[in-house]
Structure 1
Amino acid sequence: MNYTVVVVDDHTLLSQAIGDLVDNFDHFSVLYVCKNGQELLTKFKDPKNIPDVVLMDVNMPILNGIETTAHLKEYFPEVKVLALSVEEDETTIIKMLRAGAKGYLLKDVKKTELKNALLEVLKHGYYYTNTVSQVLIHSLENRGDSAFSLKEREIEFIRHACSEKTYKEIAGEMYLSPKTIEGYRDALFEKLNLRNRTGLVIYAIKNKIFVPK
């Protein structure tokens, strides 16, 4: 199976180079490259131009990566956005992830990691480098979240979620319906401002709800 990719970057030579690199990966092909988010959204008016993954720069004229990613999250949620930028400050990374990016890579990334990131985003829905994981942990610490604001059953659910159990298996362990467990999950994601199970595990480790062996 071949996956389609679009590169969005205002540096023409760089975007072409990235496109050529991805084109040489097995099972990947680049549909086209764009100079900014507005050009991408114009392309998206034709369904044939909608890819599986967008490699998105952050700082671009007209419509930047954060604004574009937020738009895609709302109107094209099936498209995975992987940020590829020279910006490595915490604020930019957090803004990009909150806008809907499924991962964040720096432009000096090795081609093997870029390929792995594309595969992981398609397979698992996200790809977090060690740098991004540390940024997420630091962000949680700065928000001053407290495990004590959680209910006992919520803490129990979080501990189960830190295992390899499926949500259905967790429902069985807690003697609750799968629908109730989904409710716990969604409520916790909203309460803690998290986007996925990985973020929940990071939160649990930071607050000592779960201690890895």
Structure 2
Amino acid sequence: MAYSVVVVDDHVLLSQAIGSLVEAFDDFKVLYLCNNGQELIDKFESKENIPDVVLMDVNMPILNGIETTVYLKDHFPDVKVLALSIEEEENTILKMLRAGAKGYLMKDVKKAELNEALLEVINNGYYHTNTIARILVDSLRNKDTGIASLKEREIEFIKHACSEKTYREIADIMCLSPKTVEGYRDVLFEKLNLRNRTGLVIYAIKNKIFTP
């Protein structure tokens, strides 16, 4: 039995090319192509138009891939979404995966890997490349040591630590003893898995605690 696939991409020629690739796979057939998420949702009004897998672009007009994937997760949870995009930004990848996508591929993916990804999504429920797996792990690690876990005074200390002030000067500003400030420093280094003040500054910039 061939599994059904729908390609959603606003670039018509690229969408057709992807569809032709999928048609060449033994285990898959293309039901139809869509230009955007809204067009796909409209198609889903007929049961015969509901596929096993949707190959979803991210950046599209009217209704983008993230919004569409959220809708499908809520209304058609059995339909598996596999993102296929040129977007390499980690934040975009995470948004797509959190929306419900079962995997994320770049559009320059090789034919064999696309086939493997489709089979893995059907058989195992997901497909993650090593790069995507690393992004997910980093995301979980950052979540565990995120801003939400920091106390108000710790955030205040981090902001001061991003300046050229010495720890003694920071202690004066915060009306604390130098030893207490050093305690803040050591606790933060341990909590955020950092080794030095430079690492703390990088963390602050990355998490928008401090803007240089």
Q: TM-score range by the shorter chain?
A: 0.5 to 0.7
1:27 aligns with 2:31: no
Report the CA distance between 1:126 and its aligned residue: 0.3
Query: Equivalents in 1 of 2:104, 2:144: separation in Å?
Result: 24
Q: Which residue of 2 aligns with 1:153?
A: none
Report the CA distance between 1:5 and its aligned residue: 0.1
Report the CA distance between 1:143 and its aligned residue: 1.6
Amino acid in structure 2 at the alignment position of 1:86: I
Report the CA distance between 1:80 and its aligned residue: 0.3
State how 1:37-56 maps to structure 2 within 5 Å.
Answer: 37-56=37-56
Gaps of 5+ in 1: 150-213
Q: Which residue of 2 aligns with 1:205?
A: none
Report the CA distance between 1:73 and its aligned residue: 0.2
Query: Equivalents in 1 of 2:113, 2:87: separation in Å?
Result: 18
1:124 aligns with 2:127: no
**CA RMSD of superposed structures (Å):** 1.3
Amino acid in structure 1 at the alignment position of 2:21: L
Amino acid in structure 2 at the alignment position of 1:125: G
Report the CA distance between 1:144 and its aligned residue: 2.8
Please give the TM-score of this superposition, normalised by the length of structure 1: 0.67
Q: Which residue of 2 aligns with 1:77?
A: 77
Query: Equivalents in 2 of 1:27, 1:109: separation in Å?
Result: 18
Amino acid in structure 2 at the alignment position of 1:10: D
Q: Which residue of 1 aligns with 2:90?
A: 90
Query: Equivalents in 2 of 1:75, 1:142: separation in Å?
Result: 30
Query: Equivalents in 1 of 2:138, 2:6: separation in Å?
Result: 31
Runs of at least 4 residues off by over 4 Å: none
State the Cα deviation string for residues 74-112 of structure 1 (Å, max 9, x = none): 000000000000001110011000100000000010000
Report the CA distance between 1:113 and its aligned residue: 0.3
Amino acid in structure 1 at the alignment position of 2:69: T
Gaps of 5+ in 2: 150-212
Amino acid in structure 1 at the alignment position of 2:14: L
SS at match of 1:4: strand
Query: Equivalents in 2 of 1:140, 1:29: separation in Å?
Result: 36
Please give the TM-score of this superposition, normalised by the length of structure 2: 0.68
Amino acid in structure 1 at the alignment position of 2:128: Y
Larger Rg: 2
Query: Equivalents in 1 of 2:112, 2:133: separation in Å?
Result: 19
State the Cα deviation string for residues 134-166 of structure 1 (Å, max 9, x = none): 1011112222359xx9xxxxxxxxxxxxxxxxx
State how 1:138-149 maps to structure 2 within 5 Å.
Answer: 138-145=138-145
Report the identity percentage. Answer: 70
State the Cα deviation string for residues 41-92 of structure 1 (Å, max 9, x = none): 0000000000000000000000000000000000000000000000011100
Query: Equivalents in 2 of 1:140, 1:45: separation in Å?
Result: 37
Query: Equivalents in 2 of 1:145, 1:29: separation in Å?
Result: 44
Query: Equivalents in 2 of 1:81, 1:27: separation in Å?
Result: 17
Amino acid in structure 1 at the alignment position of 2:3: Y
1:109 aligns with 2:109: yes
SS at match of 1:59: coil
